[in-house]
Structure 1
């Protein structure tokens, strides 16, 4: 055991072990050196072979090059081969010197004899190595003893022939002394053109220690490289292009294929405006570990790279791609193309510019930002002042604002760590300083400003002049970016705007997406925080174009509507900007734009807070009220009733101050009707009855009064506070509200138990008169309810399908609503699979809505619960009813909540839990009373929502029959 060993004995073994390790390491290092030397010698021999004029000499040099190629791949103990390398390098120099300006006639003498003997010698060496290669095919090894003896023999042969050849060459045998003297005078300069001055084997940069979220991309790019594809990694500064290239260099497949011939050429720190072709090539050769003297560096580097497969990364390629010197622009791309054409040589460029060398088959990869998980990993690898679990939620939003840009995340984390900021303090600093937080140091890797200035100082950007900066600030100002198709219309003063956009895109300051020129968030933050605001002329041109488009827009789906749809966020932003500065000029465009959204793209809008926040005066009361009213109509389309009521109350107050009583009535009528739609029938009636005693009533037109009576009677209809014969009589004679009143009067008779046959006949007579789509919809809906109540379920579904067809393609909300009702009818037919399919289809149309509608969700969710309950799937039904109730609590909808609560009561009743069923039914009864509906008539005005008669727990509860007779709730 180690504890009983002799300490001296143990220690005495250590020096020997160290000596062995040191000896092995030294041998391995020498082998590596010889391998590199073989490669450089092969390159030099190939250059000389192209220069010598004698075919036999060319053949000898070619054979020697092949010997070295075989030696690289076959011989294990390469260090023993060093003498051969030195001998052959001497032969190369002698052949170049001795055959300069010689002709084939000169080979008749001693020079020819010497070359022939040398040719025999090198061919024998080549054959023996080739033979050994075949013998050692599987092991790929030689016997060390045999190799050593054989190599010593080769050395002696070469020494003998070299001595003879060199003596005869120097003596001038086979060509006259005049040529010899001329050769001697020119030798120094010409030989310097091809000689390697120094060679230092390069070491690739290490794999980045902080490298997250790129594994799939690294694997994809590695596979491309292994399959001999040239790659261009493109992206703005700080996206991690260089780190990605360094990671690829260290992938196992890459190291196996390219071994130590993995080169990283960086052009960082060079000024594109002054770079020359010589500077470019000097960096290139330096990264290869070689330094050539003389002219034609491309040829010399190409010769070096031809000796074996190589992977070359050209990092920060935008430096030379954007070089303004004419020589650089003319010479560098062809040089890259020539190198790319070398078999076995693969290029990777990292660049902010898309101006990659032509005539190279690049596979271009735009480097994406990190994903959320990787962005958080980077941040918390640096930041340690709070636990990840405590800070993650706040930091997640901040990282999202940076669009997960790697450099910005790194800078942000370092700033927070170095300053000891808590997450709350970091958020506060970001809110106050913006992108200035990302400038903790100097240099492109320590400052967002510096990396941005590097891009902005590109000669291509500088050549754009003021137009480039104007375009940048405009793109940063517009939330969607600049519409590429409309650029010249939006910015007519920038005559070369299309060219400007192309250059900005090539420099990765902007990118094209969905027909827009966009900016990555850190670039946008920098431009907004550090560059001047958008040029006033450019802003005015954008406003003029967008405002004129809005004013021309109508309900029709035309070219103007297409622009509203495509550029809606930009238009909204411009209007909000102007509302804060010149509201009087902007109000009209504001409410017209809200109308355009309502017609073509219903969605929430930032114009809501912008409108509410404007401080009005006497000259703007009505203008602001119009905007608030249009805002309410937009929210109404979205079924966001709380927001509708809020906007209408605000508008009503302004109209009242301005003595605009007609619009006061419109506001009051609308939110009273919303209360009715929510099931707040008592509240709706009270509002409209009170309004008839208000100061505004006497100023109203007869049509406005007819509308108020009509809406009041809708609420009374649902609450059963008047007989069917009394309802809708006051509005029946009005030219606007007469036809809707006739339809609703027939609905009242249906819901109140009148003659269903007469109702059907009256509605069929009215239907041809319905030119307005809303009137036709109401008539068809009631006819569908008639068919449903009569048990003609197929007819009901056909009528509902007619309604769906009416709205397909332009009103997905209505399509959803009536498709769900078709599902309810199908479930009553017993076709539950069809019912579910229809609900699924309704969900599809719902997803096509621009925004999730809470009201539509409640309708769909209740329909799903209804279908599952009738199918006997109580667990599924219970889940849907519960989800509906939760939505009702959020939305403030007691009607859907009451029906869903009743549904839960029926499930409890079916399970035999009568106490729970009684509790559910009691809740339902309370909700009916709150709404102002007699509990027994909960479903009278909504036949499609009533559960089939076999679900009789609710009826038994209301009648106090068993099993509820003795249950106290």
Structure 2
């Protein structure tokens, strides 16, 4: 028996050496299952994942969790988008000195992604506890926790089980009797008396924590400017930072930035699991049962991907997007953490998710067209009543959507008539707004010159040329006289006294 135990111990050591740090939670589950299923005894070797070696920016959340443990026996849900560091935070809790002292050997970490039903989850937990295998270990698991000293049980990736409506009730019933959970999303399972105050959904790291994380992986020999450029691509999402930092460590920041322009998120999506493949992590969130059950939520997140400024509830409603129950779609995106509400109460999507969606799931033209009409009406209203008191509420709205408008107008310049002509007018209005209110020149004006030959609308051509001339107040124009001559020539083909007055001014 002693020789058998030594042999099993060596097998476990060999397995540990072969498995990487990147799949720590899978390792815990794999080793426990391997031993439980290959042995007829009730002995268990439930290996815990290691403490995270790189852990920055989650000190506040860790402190909040530890505080909850001081209030009794807590039931805690760590929620957040895929790649936001939920598992790392759970592992930090698992290895905190206070937790180790309190629970000693009674700490269990179960990766739930291999279970499909409540019974399978109970059996998986039972294998970690060292229970004798059986068809349904639910009661045995509950009895184990009732008869043994207090234990810490962490259920990682529980969303795999909880998401499907068919299994949700059974899972929630089991959860009501169990404890700590990490799962992607921002919605807690019902039927569980969660310890208050609830943990806030994990947000991206602050800039300093993101820099420290990058430096721990890629060393500190990179220029801060290039590091910040790379971090800008990640929106400080921990998984994206980690993957790009590893790439920068071998290729250098300049090379990573250059490759990103062509490859986007696929540059860091060659791994075989969601902890080493950003595209896979995002795809899992997009294919969750909650998203699938509200089809228009997928369309909304695709549209948000081209809108870096995000949208307010006012924008969502007034734009009249052809999506049923749009506020429910918004709630679904928030609950799955595919979108979040920023400090200005705008619904946004993180940069890595935006890049993935633009490449793999761009929004339909019918959606963008609705948003185009919404911005078109605002810009036209501004152009007519520029300087009047009546546009006092329109200016802040245009400012808060500035990058959104630029992206939507960029789309419009690639469309056929009549959208193309409407887009050119809007670009001119947008140019007026940008130079006066934001002291910037939109690059879209430079794209219109090449489109003029395909237009038969002489008034539109004249309007564009006049707007180009008006920019001389803000930016030097070398060929103003040539532009004026072209406009005068165009006036021969149509009569518009108001536009002629603008030229005279």
2:464 aligned residue: 624
1:338 partnered with 2:177? yes
Structure with greater Cα Rg? 1
User: What is the Cα deviation at residue 268 of structure 1?
Assistant: 2.5
Contact 1:213–1:370 (Cα < 8 Å) also in 2: yes
User: What does residue 107 of structure 2 align with?
Assistant: 262
Corresponding residue SS for 1:615: helix
Match of 1:221 in 2: 65
Aligned to 1:577: 411
Structure 2 CA distance for partners of 1:459 and 1:450, relative to 1, 3 Å:
same
Number of the residue aligned with 2:138 = 297
Alignment check: 8 A CA contact 2:230 2:244 kept: no
Q: Secondary structure at the match of 1:609?
A: coil
Question: Residues 468-489 of structure 1: CA distance to partner in whole angstroms, max 9, x if unpaired?
Answer: 3322210101122233333244
Name which of 188, 207, 214 aligns with 1:379. 214
More helix, by proportion: 1
Whole-angstrom distance in 2 between the partners of 1:298 and 1:593: 66
1:451 and 2:284 equivalent?
A: no
Taking the aligned partners of 2:183 and 2:69, their CA distance within structure 1 comes to 14
Deviation at 1:430, TM superposition (A): 1.2
- Residues 389 and 383 from structure 1, CA distance in 2 versus in 1: closer, same or farther, beyond 3 angstroms? closer
Aligned residue number for residue 403 of structure 1: 235
Q: How does 1:427-442 map to 2 (within 5 A)?
A: 427-442=257-272
Q: Look up the match of 2:201.
A: 366
Question: What is the rounded CA distance, in whole Å, between the counterparts of 1:368 and 1:243 in structure 2?
Answer: 14
C-alpha distance in 1, partners of 2:135/2:272?
38
**CA offset at residue 236 of structure 1?**
1.4
Is 1:510 the counterpart of 2:355 in the alignment?
no
Residues 805-846 of structure 1, C-alpha deviation per residue, up to 9 Å, x if partnerless? xxxxxxxxxxxxxxxxxxxxxxxxxxxxxxxxxxxxxxxxxx
The question of 1:475 aligning with 2:475 is answered no
Tell me if the contact between 2:83 and 2:238 (Cα under 8 Å) persists in the aligned partners: yes
Q: CA deviation at 1:257?
A: 1.9
TM-superposition CA deviations, 1:840-893 (whole Å, max 9, x none): xxxxxxxxxxxxxxxxxxxxxxxxxxxxxxxxxxxxxxxxxxxxxxxxxxxxxx
Match of 1:612 among 427, 446, 450: 446
Contact kept, 8 Å, 2:87 with 2:182, in 1: the verdict is no
Q: Please point out which of 233, 237, 240 is paired with 2:82.
A: 237
Quick one: distance in 1 between partners of 2:422 and 2:373?
12
Shift of 1:248: 0.8
Q: Which residue of 2 is the match for residue 656 of structure 1?
A: 485
CA distance in 2, matches of 1:438, 1:361: 36
1:247 deviation in Å? 0.8
Shift of 1:530: 2.2
Distance 2:278 2:312 in 1: 27
Whether 1:422 aligns to 2:247 is no
The CA deviation at 1:548 is: 1.9
Paired position in structure 2 for 1:200:
44
SS of residue paired to 1:243? helix
Q: Secondary structure at the match of 2:199?
A: strand
Q: CA deviation at 1:571?
A: 2.4
Instruction: Note the C-alpha offset of 1:322.
Output: 0.2
**In structure 2, what is the equivalent of residue 352 of structure 1?**
185
Contact 2:469 2:483 in 1 (8 A): no
Aligned to 1:144: none
Offset of residue 613 of structure 1: 3.7
| Secondary structure in structure 1 of the residue aligned to 2:352 | helix
Q: CA RMSD in A?
A: 3.3
Alpha-carbon separation, structure 2, partners of 1:260 and 1:296: 21
Classify 1:389/1:414 alpha carbon distance in 2 versus 1 (closer, same or farther; 3 Å): closer
**Superposition deviation, residue 405 in structure 1:** 1.7
Q: Does 1:493 align with 2:322?
A: yes
Q: Give the Cα–Cα distance (whole angstroms) in 1 for the partners of residues 119 and 312 of structure 2.
A: 42
SS in 1 for 2:442: helix
Counterpart-to-counterpart distance in 2, 1:609 and 1:597: 11
For each residue in 1:207-231, what CA deviation from the matched residue of structure 2 results, as whole angstroms up to 9, or x when unmatched? 0223333334323322223333432
Q: 1:390 to 1:287 in 2, by over 3 A?
A: same
What are structure 2's unaligned runs of at least 5 residues? 1-5, 7-39, 492-499
CA contact under 8 A between 1:485 and 1:515: conserved in structure 2? Answer: no
Equivalent residue for 2:377?
A: 548
SS at match of 1:234: strand
Q: Distance in 1 between matches of 2:135 and 2:271?
A: 41
TM-score (norm 1): 0.42
Deviations 1:169-195 (A, max 9, x none): xxxxxxxxxxxxxxxxxxxxxxxxxxx
CA distance in 1, matches of 2:290, 2:154: 23
Cα distance between partner residues in 1 of 2:205 and 2:157 = 20
Q: Which residue of 2 is the match for residue 759 of structure 1? A: none
The separation in 2 between residues aligned to 1:610 and 1:509, in whole angstroms, is 30
Q: Deviations over 1:256-296 (max 9, x none)?
A: 222222221211345xxxx2221121122223333464767
Q: Secondary structure at the match of 2:292?
A: helix
The aligned counterpart of 2:438 is: 603
Could you tell me which residue of structure 2 aligns to residue 463 of structure 1? 293
Question: Could you tell me how far apart the structure 2 residues matched to 1:506 and 1:427 are?
Answer: 32
2:56 corresponds to: 212
Are the aligned partners of 1:579 and 1:611 in contact in 2 as well (CA < 8 Å)?
no
Q: CA deviation at 1:197?
A: 7.2
Displacement, 1:590?
Answer: 2.8
Q: TM-score, normalised by structure 2?
A: 0.77
User: What is the CA–CA distance in structure 1 between the aligned matches of 2:244 and 2:380, rounded to whole Å?
Assistant: 44
- 2:421 matches 1:592: no
Q: Which residue does the alignment assign to 2:30?
A: none
CA deviation after TM superposition for structure 1 residue 496, in Å: 3.0
- Identify if the C-alpha distance between structure 1 residues 474 and 294 changes in structure 2 by more than 3 Å, giving closer, same or farther: closer
The 5-angstrom pairing of residues 563-574 of structure 1 reads 563-574=397-408
Worse overlay, 618-627 or 305-314: 618-627
* C-alpha distance in 1 between matches for 2:381 and 2:431: 13
SS in 1 for 2:314: coil
**Deviation per residue, 1:140-176 (Å, 9 max, x gap):** xxxxxxxxxxxxxxxxxxxxxxxxxxxxxxxxxxxxx
- Name the residue aligned to 2:350: 520
Q: Aligned partners of 1:547 and 1:661: how far apart in 2?
A: 25
Q: Is the 8 A contact 1:460 1:503 kept in 2?
A: yes
The answer to which structure, 1 or 2, has the higher relative contact order (CA under 8 A, 6+ apart) is: 2
- When residues 491 and 476 of structure 1 are mapped into structure 2, their CA distance, relative to the original with a 3 A threshold, is farther
Contact 2:61 2:199 in 1 (8 A): no
Alpha-carbon shift at residue 442 of structure 1 (Å)? 1.7
Name the CA distance, whole Å, in 1 between partners of 2:224 and 2:429. Answer: 42
SS of corresponding position for 1:264: strand
2:122 equivalent in structure 1: 281
Within 1, Cα distance between the matches of 2:100 and 2:439?
A: 55
1:396, CA displacement in angstroms?
2.2
Q: Name the CA distance, whole Å, in 1 between partners of 2:95 and 2:252.
A: 37
Call closer, same or farther: CA 1:294–1:236 in 2, change over 3 Å.
Answer: closer
**Residue in 1 aligned with 2:496?**
none
Match of 2:162 in 1: 321
Which residue in 2 is equivalent to 1:15?
none
| C-alpha distance in 2 between matches for 1:396 and 1:610 | 27
